[in-house]
Amino acid sequence: MPVFQNKGKYLLIEITEPYSAKMINSAIHEADITCREQNLNKVLVDMRNMPGDPSLLDRHLHGIEVAKIWGSRIKAALVLRTERLSHMTENTAVNRGANVLSTSDFARAMEWLEIENQ
């Protein structure tokens, strides 16, 4: 189960369990609920320690889900290991109106979210 932490200015989601499409979709929905309940509009998803690698189709489908559920209301940064970085989720979500960045650089994600290191 992903770990959700309210960091004051953003929601941190750390995913360390093996990849599954069901788990990622559940996390997208849970993040939406948590952000609404806790009045947050920024999400940092740390997937650097997540075993497994989503297919391109799964990445595309996750981008559609992010755009549908979060829209432009939530600004999100997805942090992945360099060898797993693909901009498919980002491109799919952004092309549908979402506000998402995919990167392998944690500091870049924080900067893009306009959050000082905490």
C-alpha triplet 58, 99, 57: angle, nearest 5°: 10
Per-10-residue mean pLDDT of the chain, 118 residues long, equals 95 97 97 98 97 95 98 97 93 97 96 85
At 117 the pLDDT is: 65
Rg for the chain, CA atoms, rounded? 13
Distance CA 69, CA 55 (A): 21
Residues making up the chain, counted from first to last: 118
Answer whether 91's CB lies under 8 Å from 99's CB: no
Distance CA 81, CA 87 (A): 12
The pTM of the full predicted model, rounded to 2 decimals, is: 0.94
> Domain map of the chain by residue range?
3-112
Query: Could you give the C-alpha distances from 46 to 26, 52, 96, in angstroms and in order?
Result: 15, 14, 23
pLDDT at position 1 is: 84
Domain covering 3-112 assigned CATH 3.30.750 in the classification: yes
Q: Distance between CA 65 and CA 53 in Å, rounded?
A: 18
